[in-house]
Each structure stands twice: as C-alpha cells, then as structure tokens.
C-alpha cells in the first residue's frame, strides 16, 4: 500500500462522515459508524506497514518485540484487527517514529522519496563546493593543476574534474590533496546548512566527551556558566589587552 491508498481511505472516510451535511440535491446519505471504523482500521494498517518497511523490519521482528504472533501483526497491517494505544506506543519506539504517525495522513514512503531527491541535489552541490574550495586553495598556494596532481600522485585530468565538481572525490585522495595544499580536512566540511550544523554539533560533542572528567563536570554545571562566559570573553581579547590585565593582576597580588 502506498500514499495513494491512504489518500483514498481518507477521502472515503470524509465522505462517510459527511452524512446529513450533504446537499439536498444529493441522494440521502447516512453516516455509517461501522464503515468509519473499518476505514480507520485500514488507514492505521497502511501506516503501520509503512513505518515497519521504513525501519527495514519484518513482521516477525515486530511480533518478537511485542511478544505476539506474526499473524496478529499481519492482521493489523491489513486492517482486519486493530492494536491498542500501548501497543502503538511500543511500536513507535521500536520503529523509531513519533506515535502520532499512526493517526496521520502521510506515509513515510512519500516523505522518503522527497528526501532522496534532496540527497541527490546535496551531493551535486557539495561536490561543486569542494571542487571550488580546492581550486581556491591551490591558487592561493600559487600551484598549477599539474603541480598539485604530480605531488598528490593523481591524474591531472581527474583532478580537473574534481575541481569542476563533475566527479565526487574519494576521501583518501582528498586527504592527500589537502596535505599538498596545506589545508586541514575541516576546510572542506559543510558548514552552511542544517546538515553542516548537525555535523558541527556532533564534532563539538565528541570533543566535549574527550575532556577530563572534572572539566566536563564543571562545564555541564549550570552554576558555572558565568565562569565560562568570562573565559570566553578572555579568549576574544587582543593579546596586548590580555597582557595588560595580567600585569594589573600581578600588581594587585604583589607577585
């Protein structure tokens, strides 16, 4: 089942609820609670199966986690039986989706298609940006394409394609070229998008976790924010200003 199935169920459900609000010219329609419940069950089944496939789990995986039989899971997904809210909450946790997904109207499959398109565009854009940064660094070093290619052990034609962003550059080759250009690999990292922000946050978290236990505990204590802000202010001061402050402190302490 796909998103079109879900939209069809939604349309039919709305029509079933229309009931007495239908125009006088239409044939008399009576709200059918049984049909409404049946359609809700079908919609829920579509969303459950969608979440399971998105998580790359089998019906047997779900059954084992919920301590039920696989046949029950299949009945749920067909809309022939309906789980209770506690089961849906466990299922949401297991399949890594918000529990509200199960009473929504949009499948993860349709959203996933949009993300795949965005991923392709991201890859094209990033290859071009990396190529442009490589060319900029090369020109700043006053090196020709051939010189960099020779020092990095690469084919000049291939290096040209990398600089144009036509080809994606393998990481081991980028590492060598970065060394030739005297640039750190972080020079090429993405920093101007949500992905870049997330990657930067993860790097910061990694460095934070590598701090000694006492420093990490100090930084994590909200009561120490003032001390951290003072340290930050000092880090931004010009060196001559810092020297002046150090001299003043020596005068005050008498050392």
Is residue 50 domain-resident?
yes
Is residue 205 domain-resident?
no
Q: For position 9, what pLDDT does the model report?
A: 54
Is residue 200 domain-resident?
no
Q: For position 194, what pLDDT does the model report?
A: 53
Q: Give the residue-averaged pLDDT of 166-184.
A: 93
Q: Which of the pair, 4 or 238, is modelled with greater confidence? A: 238
Q: For position 79, what pLDDT does the model report?
A: 92
Type and span of the H or E element at 217: helix 213-220
What is the span of the domain harbouring residue 236? 212-255
Confidence class for position 20, pLDDT limits 50, 70, 90: very low
Confidence class for position 253, pLDDT limits 50, 70, 90: low
- Residue 121 Cα distances to 67, 164, 198, 244, angstroms: 42, 16, 18, 52
Q: Give the residue-averaged pLDDT of 221-237.
A: 84
Q: Give the residue-averaged pLDDT of 17-22.
A: 49
State the pTM of this model. Answer: 0.41
pLDDT tens across 85-120, in order? 999 999 999 998 888 888 887 777 655 555 556 677
Is residue 202 domain-resident?
no
Pair 174, 246 in one domain: no
* Number of domains observed in the structure of the chain: 3
Pair 25, 94 in one domain: yes
């Amino acid at each position: 089942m796909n998103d079109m199935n879900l939209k069809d169920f939604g349309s039919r459900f709305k029509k079933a609820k229309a009931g007495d609000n239908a125009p006088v010219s239409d044939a008399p329609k009576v709200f059918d609670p049984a049909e409404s419940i049946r359609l809700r069950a079908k919609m829920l089944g579509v969303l459950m199966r969608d979440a399971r496939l998105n998580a790359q789990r089998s019906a047997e995986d779900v059954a084992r986690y919920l301590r039920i039989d696989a046949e029950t899971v299949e009945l749920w997904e067909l809309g022939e039986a309906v789980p209770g809210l506690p089961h849906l909450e466990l299922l949401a946790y297991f399949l890594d989706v918000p529990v509200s997904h199960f009473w929504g109207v949009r499948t993860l499959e349709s959203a996933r298609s949009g993300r795949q398109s965005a991923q392709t565009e991201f890859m094209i854009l990033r290859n071009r940006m990396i190529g442009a940064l490589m060319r900029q660094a090369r020109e700043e070093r006053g090196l020709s394409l051939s010189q960099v290619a020779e020092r990095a052990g690469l084919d000049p034609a291939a290096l040209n394609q990398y600089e144009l962003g036509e080809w994606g550059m393998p990481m081991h080759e980028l590492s060598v070229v970065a060394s030739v250009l005297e640039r750190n690999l972080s020079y090429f990292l993405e920093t101007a998008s949500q992905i870049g922000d997330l990657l930067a946050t993860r790097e910061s978290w990694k460095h934070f976790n590598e701090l000694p236990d006492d420093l990490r505990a100090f930084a994590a204590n909200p009561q120490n924010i003032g001390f951290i802000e003072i340290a930050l202010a000092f880090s931004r001061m010009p060196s001559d200003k810092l020297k002046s402050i150090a001299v003043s402190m020596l005068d005050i302490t008498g050392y």
